[in-house]
Amino acid sequence: MNPDTSTPTTSFHTLGIAPKLLEMLDEAKFTVPTPIQHQAIPVAMSGKDVVGIAQTGTGKTLSFALPMLQHLMNNPGRGLIMAPTRELAYQIEETLRKFAPKLGILTAVFIGGASMSLQKQMLKRNPRILVATPGRLNDHLQQGTITLKEVSMVVLDEADRMLDMGFLPQIERIFKHIPKERQTMLFSATMPPSIMKLATVHMKLPLRIEVAPAGTTAERVEQEMFVVQKAEKIRLLEKLLVEYKGTVLVFSRTKHGAKKIMRSIRTMGHTAAELHGNRSLNQRMDALDGFKRGRYRVLVATDIAGRGIDVDNIQLVINFDLPQNPDDYVHRIGRTARAGKEGRAISFAEPNQLSEIRSIERLIRTQITRSQPTGLPPARAGADATQDRDEDRGGRRPSYRPRPDSERKQAPQKTFQRSNNIPRSTQGKPAPQQGGGRPNKPHYPAKPTHGKRAGFNSAGFEASLQNALQDE
């Protein structure tokens, strides 16, 4: 289903939303629905399965949150929302809290890194909307602390990530605990055909609502690509942080790289934090909250933040490393130019990454402007984050540099004195074994043998024993 998005919609009042929810939307200053909200909400309200595809930053959360809340207002049961990252799970629950408490609907978040005992206490309150990451939800299912038999609506946010090979086994186990008679909704900015095929296994005649082709980037984001050597990346980053004065989100391909980039940025005199899987839950929440509140001007993150950050007024997104998956490029740059605002995305590419650039451009159906860096600041001592080996997956070893001969330790040379009566060919070699053995093989005398290994003679042993007894 590819609906006509040109139909003007001036209010949420035309979408079949209950009056009580409409009052809360007005209080929260939600007045004009976005295209994905305009198309998806009426279909979801009717109880049909939905696959929603729209650019990041276009309000997909409300597209499934409002239908779920209205369904639970009028029907028993539970709603389940699954997200790939802890940060995204918290942001979904934050949106729900604007409406659910006023409707008497309790919500709860179940994510890894948080206290299991506290989550068990939340379950005793019987929350009707569960927001969870797949790993922690499976932990509760294995321990028998949660049941999904009452779930009547299921949402997979960032569905392409949820149904890839990393999360798929966990999702499959979860769906075994959910009744087959349910409503299922999937939302994402990218939806490869392979993922769409997997999705239909768990859905009943889903309606595909595509307000923009999969892979479409945010409308008002300006994109630029710098082709640079690896050693120049950190100096180019330093220049851009001086040129742009607002908040900046920097993406690294690896966790180890994110830490090193963050440290380099701090040596430049900027406030910065890191966000990746090696950080504890409290550290991740502090970094994200500090970035939102302006305590940190720069946030350096892995793709964990590409689908879990909803921060207003991010001026610049920098891809310090190109993503391994072209789809992640769309999600990364969607962190800026949100809700119709303007933004900028700058990517660093190495000269040998031409094929990766072309893959991204094929996905977004746009040629990215190429630029060459000029006027880079001089290198800082110890501040180049690209020179060390990234120890995580995807990292590269530094190029091999052979050690000069002057730096190598020379092994002592063995010298042999030649005897006049021994031929040159046998100098320093053991004498050949007698009896036609292999040449130059050392000849050793036979070891003394004892007992059965030497051919034990029982009769001789008994005779010797008798003689000894007679002597005594």
Q: Cα dist. 67→79, 134, 171, 173, 244 in Å?
A: 10, 22, 22, 25, 40
From CA 282, how far away is CA 279, in angstroms rounded? 8
pLDDT of residue 134: 96
pLDDT of residue 169: 92
In the block, tokens 């629905």 appear at 33
For helices 134-143 and 116-124, what crossing angle results, to 10°?
70
pLDDT of residue 197: 85
Q: pLDDT tens digits for 12-43?
A: 999 999 999 999 999 988 889 999 999 999 99
Is residue 319 classed as helix, strand or coil in its secondary structure? Answer: strand
From CA 64, how far away is CA 187, in angstroms rounded? 8
**Tokens linked to 54:** 């729209």
Which domains, from first to last, does the chain contain?
Answer: 12-210 (3.40.50.300), 221-371 (3.40.50.300)
* Greatest mean pLDDT among 230-234, 382-386, 468-472: 230-234
pLDDT of residue 463: 58
Q: How many CB atoms lie within 10 A of CB 197?
A: 10
Mean pLDDT of all residues in 126-151: 97
Q: pLDDT tens digits for 282-320?
A: 999 999 999 999 999 999 999 887 776 778 789 999 999
Sequence-ordered list of residues with C-beta below 8 angstroms from that of 323, at least 6 positions apart, any chain = 251, 253, 303, 306, 329, 332
Instruction: Compute the mean pLDDT over every residue in the chain, rounded to the nearest whole number.
Output: 83
Percent of the chain with pLDDT over 70: 78
What residues does 183 pair with on adjacent strands? 153
pLDDT band at 461 (very low <50, low <70, confident <90, very high): low
Sequence-ordered list of residues with C-beta below 8 angstroms from that of 451, at least 6 positions apart, any chain = none
Mean pLDDT of all residues in 383-387: 49
Classify residue 453 by its DSSP letter. G
- Kindly write down the DSSP assignment for every residue of 340-373, as one continuous string: G--EEEEEEE-TT-HHHHHHHHHHHTSPPEEE--
* Greatest mean pLDDT among 167-181, 209-223, 331-345, 443-457: 167-181
CA atoms within 13 A on the CB side of 238: 22
Lowest mean pLDDT among 387-396, 432-441, 448-457, 463-472: 387-396
Sequence-ordered list of residues with C-beta below 8 angstroms from that of 120, at least 6 positions apart, any chain = 145
From CA 191, how far away is CA 59, in angstroms rounded? 17
From CA 109, how far away is CA 86, in angstroms rounded? 9
pLDDT band at 391 (very low <50, low <70, confident <90, very high): very low
Q: Cα dist. 308→117, 161, 225, 443 in Å?
A: 25, 12, 24, 74
Sequence-ordered list of residues with C-beta below 8 angstroms from that of 297, at least 6 positions apart, any chain = 247, 248, 270, 271, 272
pLDDT band at 382 (very low <50, low <70, confident <90, very high): low
Query: CB of 246 within 8 A of CB of 313?
Result: yes
pLDDT of residue 60: 92
pLDDT band at 215 (very low <50, low <70, confident <90, very high): confident
Lowest mean pLDDT among 162-176, 317-331, 356-370: 162-176
pLDDT band at 397 (very low <50, low <70, confident <90, very high): very low
pLDDT of residue 269: 96
What residues does 319 pair with on adjacent strands? 251, 347
CA 196 to chain centre: 20
Does residue 430 register a pLDDT over 70?
no
- Kindly write down the DSSP assignment for every residue of 271-330, as one continuous string: -EEEESTTS-HHHHHHHHHHHHHTS-SEEEE-GGGTTT---TTEEEEEESS--SSHHHHH
Lowest mean pLDDT among 182-186, 304-308, 460-464: 460-464
Does residue 443 register a pLDDT over 60?
no
Query: CB of 303 within 8 A of CB of 276?
Result: no
pLDDT of residue 400: 46
Mean pLDDT of all residues in 199-220: 85
Give strand ranges (E) for 302-456: 314-319, 343-349, 369-371
Does residue 86 register a pLDDT over 70?
yes
Does residue 429 register a pLDDT over 80?
no
pLDDT of residue 420: 54
Mean pLDDT of all residues in 63-92: 95
H/E element, 259:
helix 255-267
Is residue 292 classed as helix, strand or coil in its secondary structure? Answer: helix
Q: Of 275, 263, 272, 321, whose CA–CA distance to 297 is shortest? A: 272
Higher pLDDT, 3 or 326: 326
pLDDT of residue 343: 92
pLDDT of residue 311: 82
pLDDT of residue 389: 44
pLDDT band at 472 (very low <50, low <70, confident <90, very high): very low
Does residue 193 register a pLDDT over 70?
yes
